[in-house]
């Protein structure tokens, strides 16, 4: 099918091909959106069509890279399918790809309510969480920021709502970090119960058949500026329905056994029944089961030994200023800003129309036909039955207070009597469930998708064991879609280093290798590794065959076990990844992956890639002292750079400029850096189809025999 979006012929040539890395790993470019043209288009919008009078795409892109204007490069996105050893995955830069749009509300439980064994909802917008995580955004120390109650350390201690994926019950976790994922195309998902959330098409949600992205589950196409998806019924879990807990604490015999016979604390009894200690204490008093003790009789006054200060309290200027700041703006109890809920808006409109409705009805109740001092305005067709009639003057009538009270709860019985339309069978009041009792996730059908446009997006990282959280009442997940050993059997493929990679520890770099292979110990090292891996593989297969949970069976697999994931990243963050992981100081194994990814990027955005190589990979940043050393060797005159004679700067002179011994070594390495880098060309002959690695992974999955 022909597409209108910009494409790169060189990228189309490798799209969907799998390039082997190490012994069992691979990298595949499965999709991309954008090219050098998109970077140029975004730059000319941001910086103007006349920026430095740059008329060529190459010149503009090099200008952007040279001056570190990175925002336009966020317009290009790439999607990869990768397989790597777990120890490589753990040092992989975990950029968030699937994200939630600004305005999404994240659900917390207030800690004071949790101590009472109830849930009190507290919502924070995801962009506010990100802003409050920026510790130096206002150039002050974290403990001196304007509102100390919203520092990052306090946010990390809040109770974030999440779902236990095994029992589907509501639990709490903690926030680890929040990420700004840039501006992306966003869709709105609307559910049958009215909930909605704005996110990218590859964000994962908890569907009835497990965790899936919207694209995988519904076929939502994220590459177009219109919402298109496959027709069908799709159900996802939301922050759902109340769980009935037997009120055993009201049974006198049961409470007597627990409290008097077994001597259990009131808090423990409340935890058994799902209520707070105050509720249990009330029923202990009702049934006359109060224990005797120090609280039953006080031989001394309760306030003995306490001192009191009479007179007005002297408030310091610092306290007054802190109190003023804490109560200003949206943090104040008297805040009047924001938007009213729809029901409050309808109620205000109804109140404003009341005198007109009463005047039309001659200040007479339309049920008892009597004049009364207390008159109410009543919706003939209730708002909950048909909200489209909420602001219809013809749907309003006058009732006295007594008739309105009698009618309450039986509105449909009086619709036709008050001159309304015939009762529709679909008018059914939904059962009201208090939000603080929503303890079990429930399934709700997806109604539709809507394309919203491009918005700034964010993602959260939460503490385990279940990496999900509640946003806008919907169970949502983190973005990196890694192969899950909780749901699938792990392929027992292990990484074996080549002989030249078994090297001694570097004497100068505590994180690196010396470069000298230890060929003498290679056979014994491989033999020892194989023994450990064989034992771990046999243990894993033995546990799985006996139906032990896979999340437990996997815990002893070594870090050399291969895993895989789908990874999406924009061009700006990919350049940062390659700058760190394609560097000669990076570990050899992850450098091998970075080289393949760089070769793919070279085909997607060749001009941006060329600028990155020239200014980042083969370039160098100089400090003030390093520039001072170069100025002693070079002189600028009339636009030319010349060397005044046989100038030389000794190590002692460099030290006098403020450079340490290590900085001097690094400066010499920068100046001796070779001008040419790896060409990063891909070997197309080594590429394999997806089926090749699928068969490899399938063959490595242990065969389970549960006889």
Q: Which two tokens stand for residue 513?
A: 């290798």
- Which two three-digit tokens encode residue 401? 């207070």
CB 381 within 8 A of CB 389: yes
Q: Which two tokens stand for residue 372?
A: 């009364």
284 contacts 255 by C-beta, under 8 angstroms: yes
Long-range Cβ contact pairs of 338-342 (< 8 A, separation 24 or more): 342/387
Residues 346, 352, 353, 357: is their CA dihedral positive or negative?
Answer: positive
What is the enclosing helix (H) or strand (E) of 96? none
3-class SS of residue 127: helix
Tally the C-alpha atoms within 13 A of residue 41's C-alpha that lie toward its C-beta.
10
Tokens of residue 657, six digits: 């400029």
Phi and psi (nearest 5°) for 231? -70, 135
Task: Look at strands 159-163 and 170-173 and give their pairing.
Answer: antiparallel
CB 574 within 8 A of CB 601: yes
Buried/exposed 526-560: b ≥16 CB within 10 Å, e otherwise:
eeebeeebeebbeebbebbeeeeebeebbeebbeb
Whether 528 is catalytic is no
Beta strands in 349-496, from DSSP E residues, in sequence order: 375-379, 396-400, 438-462, 468-471, 474-477, 481-482
Half-sphere exposure of 424 (CA within 13 A, CB side): 11
Please, is 699 exposed, middle or buried when counting C-beta atoms within 10 Å of its C-beta (0-12, 13-18, 19+)?
exposed
From 119, 581, 595, 603, active-site residue: 581
Query: Angle of helix 36-47 relative to helix 57-66, nearest 10 degrees?
Result: 70
Q: For the chain, what's the residue count? A: 707
Residue listed under structure tokens 């001394």? 300
Q: How far apart are the first and last CA of the chain?
A: 50
Candidates 446, 451, 443; CA nearest to 190 is 446
Q: How many CB atoms lie within 10 A of CB 443?
A: 14
Return the H-helix or E-strand segment holding 275.
Answer: none
The two tokens of residue 337 are: 């800003």
DSSP structure class, residue 258:
I
The residue among 399, 347, 352 whose CA lies nearest residue 374 is 399
Rounded to the nearest 5°, which phi and psi values hold at 176?
-100, -50
Q: Report d(CA 322, CA 142) in Å as an integer.
A: 15
* Strand stretches in 77-129, DSSP E: 77-85, 100-101, 105-109, 121-125
| Residue 43, number of CB atoms within 10 A of its CB | 23
Can you read off the two tokens belonging to residue 661? 């011994």
Two structure tokens written together for 330: 């949206």
Structure tokens of 98? Answer: 């699937």
Question: DSSP alpha helices (H): ranges in 546-623?
Answer: 550-553, 571-581, 588-604, 606-612
Identify the bridge partners of residue 236 per DSSP, sorted by sequence position: 207, 444
What amino acid positions are annotated as catalytic residues?
581
């Amino acid at each position: 099918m022909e597409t209108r979006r910009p494409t790169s012929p060189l990228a189309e040539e490798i799209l969907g091909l799998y390039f082997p890395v190490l012994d069992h790993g691979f990298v595949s470019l499965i999709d991309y959106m954008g090219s050098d043209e998109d970077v140029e288009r975004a730059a000319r919008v941001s910086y103007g069509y006349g920026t430095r009078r740059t008329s060529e795409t190459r010149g503009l892109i090099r200008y952007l890279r040279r001056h570190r204007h990175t925002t336009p490069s966020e317009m290009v996105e790439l999607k990869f399918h990768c397989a790597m050893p777990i120890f490589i995955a753990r040092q992989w830069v975990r950029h968030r790809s699937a994200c939630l749009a600004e305005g999404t509300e994240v659900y917390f439980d207030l800690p004071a309510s949790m101590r009472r064994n109830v849930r009190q909802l507290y919502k924070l917008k995801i962009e506010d969480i990100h802003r409050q995580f920026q510790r130096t955004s206002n150039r002050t120390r974290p403990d001196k920021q304007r509102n100390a109650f919203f520092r990052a350390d306090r946010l990390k201690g809040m109770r974030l709502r999440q779902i236990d994926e095994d029992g589907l019950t509501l639990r709490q976790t903690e926030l680890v970090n929040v990420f700004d994922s840039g501006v992306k195309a966003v869709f709105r998902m609307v559910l049958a119960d009215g909930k909605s959330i704005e996110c990218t098409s590859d964000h994962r949600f908890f569907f009835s058949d497990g965790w899936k992205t919207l694209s995988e589950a519904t076929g939502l196409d994220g590459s177009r500026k219109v919402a298109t998806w496959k027709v069908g019924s799709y159900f996802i879990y939301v922050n759902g329905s109340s769980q009935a807990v037997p009120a055993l604490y009201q049974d006198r015999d049961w409470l007597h056994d627990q409290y008097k016979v077994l001597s259990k604390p009131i808090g423990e009894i409340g935890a058994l029944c799902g209520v707070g200690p105050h509720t249990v204490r009330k029923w202990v008093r009702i049934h006359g089961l109060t224990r005797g003790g120090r609280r039953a009789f006080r031989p001394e006054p309760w306030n003995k030994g306490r001192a009191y200060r009479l007179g007005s309290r002297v408030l310091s200027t610092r306290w007054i200023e802190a109190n003023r700041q804490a109560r200003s703006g949206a943090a104040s109890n008297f805040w009047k800003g924001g938007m009213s809920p729809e029901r409050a808006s309808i109620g205000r409109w109804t109140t404003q129309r009341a005198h007109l409705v009463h005047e039309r009805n001659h200040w007479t109740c339309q049920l008892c036909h009597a004049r009364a001092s207390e008159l109410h305005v009543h919706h003939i067709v209730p708002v909950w039955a048909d909200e489209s009639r909420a602001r219809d003057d013809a749907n309003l009538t006058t009732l006295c207070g007594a008739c309105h009270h009698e009618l309450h709860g039986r509105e449909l019985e009086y619709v036709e009597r008050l001159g309304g339309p015939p009762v529709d069978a679909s008018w059914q009041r939904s059962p009201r469930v208090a939000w603080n009792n929503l303890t079990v996730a429930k399934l709700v059908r997806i109604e539709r998708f809507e394309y919203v446009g491009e918005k700034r997006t964010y993602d959260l990282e939460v503490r385990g064991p279940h990496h999900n959280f509640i946003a806008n009442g919907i169970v949502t997940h983190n973005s990196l879609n890694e192969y899950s050993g909780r749901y699938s059997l792990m392929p027992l493929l292990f990484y074996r280093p080549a002989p030249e990679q078994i090297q001694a520890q570097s004497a100068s770099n505590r994180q690196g290798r010396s470069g000298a292979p230890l060929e003498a110990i290679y056979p014994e090292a491989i033999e020892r590794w194989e023994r450990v891996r064989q034992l771990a593989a046999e243990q894993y297969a033995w546990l799985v065959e006996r139906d032990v949970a896979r999340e437990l069976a996997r815990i002893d697999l070594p870090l050399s076990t291969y895993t895989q994931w789908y990874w999406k990243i924009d061009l700006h963050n990919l350049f940062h990844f390659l700058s760190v992981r394609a560097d000669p100081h990076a570990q050899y194994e992850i450098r091998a992956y970075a080289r393949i990814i760089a070769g793919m990027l070279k085909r997607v955005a060749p001009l941006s890639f060329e600028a990155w190589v020239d200014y980042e990979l083969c370039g160098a940043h100089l400090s003030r002292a390093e520039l001072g050393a170069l100025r002693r060797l070079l002189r600028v005159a009339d636009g030319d750079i010349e060397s005044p004679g046989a100038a030389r700067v000794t190590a002692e002179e460099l030290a006098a400029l403020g450079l340490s011994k290590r900085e001097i070594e690094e400066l010499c390495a920068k100046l001796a850096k070779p001008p040419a880098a790896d060409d990063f060309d891909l070997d197309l002959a080594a590429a394999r189809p997806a089926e090749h690695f699928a068969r490899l992974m399938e063959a490595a999955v242990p065969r389970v025999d549960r006889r």
